[in-house]
Structure 1
């Protein structure tokens, strides 16, 4: 898969695997260059800055790192590092969620193979993450080939996210803004009636729903929930819109817990993190 995957019809290059303890996102990228070159692109801070972000102080075994991706700041710890072969580190995002990223560089007859795996406890942001990592690995490909990476538009990223969601049956998580206001789509393992009751309950608990249009359809035993609500300004970075996105995000999370029979309590810390997330250019 190359950068053209974003510029043409969306084609998934990764695999979302269901595991007993969660999920794994899997990418394998072949290269016609020696493994040492791929390892250099993976670990040299100047090259990492071109395809991922500014990492300080770099990847060092047992040490913490800070990664500046522009609108997103990541922290973590390097868990394992075998020079030329493998790299593994934790990845803590702005919402406080932590996952483990695993990179392997293998020698092949034609050159080398980069294997990337990220392990997640839940499916939250998994479709979004798959689309995001595909774009990042496209940028890696470009840097490895001596080219400048080409980014994708938000619309192209959303199309690819939706392709991952449909192919692997994983619900989208993030909301976004269009010309009419905010939009969320969530899928629940329930019928439409049960999902409607859960969404109404969660929205009512958080003071939402008066101006929202909520459409729920059955899809082979799965409820698809589409929420639309007008939002002043039409800008995902505005305080009003980012706040509304954050509250609806939390309400739809709560609906999922209600349907699963899990206790749910509003978290002011999570709500503040979501508001910052939606207000910092992540749309």
Structure 2
């Protein structure tokens, strides 16, 4: 069977945080906080807003695709030939928030980008944890 779309891979990172969804939402949507754990940016939490994430290795061009405060945030992530989508899902738990990050759209021949994301996102999550620990 031949499908029309080429097969793509997805990176998923999930972690439980001992913080309420509102606190995680702040860290995911306030530019100065995003800069602490992810990258320098000009993010605005508005649907269709175009923004850039800046790292020492280059720039990621992004656009907000979905936004539901304290629940869901999705944006396109285009860099170094990769066109992908990053989706954050926040689920309240008894002790805090379950955070799920899914990055979809890695083509079969984009092994380096895929492996980079598999390696990088858990480190970003560690940085997010440190940022959250400092927040009131």
Higher helix share: 1
Cα distance in 2 for partners of 1:127, 1:57 equals: 26
The structure, 1 or 2, with the larger RCO (C-alpha pairs under 8 Å, 6+ apart) is 2
Q: TM-score if structure 1 supplies the norm length?
A: 0.43
* Alpha-carbon shift at residue 37 of structure 1 (Å): 0.6
Whether the 8 Å contact between 1:41 and 1:144 is mirrored in structure 2 is yes
Corresponding residue number in structure 1 for 2:34:
48
* Alpha-carbon shift at residue 141 of structure 1 (Å): 1.2
Larger Rg: 1
* Alpha-carbon shift at residue 57 of structure 1 (Å): 4.0
* Alpha-carbon shift at residue 136 of structure 1 (Å): 1.2
Q: TM-score if structure 2 supplies the norm length?
A: 0.85
Which ranges in structure 2 are unaligned for 5 or more consecutive residues? 1-5
**CA distance 1:68–1:36, shift in 2 (3 Å):** same
Matched, 1:136 2:116: no
- Structure 1, residues 213-268: CA drift from partner, whole Å, max 9, x if none? xxxxxxxxxxxxxxxxxxxxxxxxxxxxxxxxxxxxxxxxxxxxxxxxxxxxxxxx
Secondary structure at the aligned position of 1:60 is classed as: coil
Cα distance in 2 for partners of 1:29, 1:59 equals: 23
Which ranges in structure 1 are unaligned for 5 or more consecutive residues? 1-19, 148-283
Whether the 8 Å contact between 1:88 and 1:103 is mirrored in structure 2 is yes
Question: Runs of 4 or more off by more than 6 Å in structure 1?
Answer: none
1:62 to 32, 38, 48: 48
2:12 to 9, 26, 50: 26
Higher strand share: 2
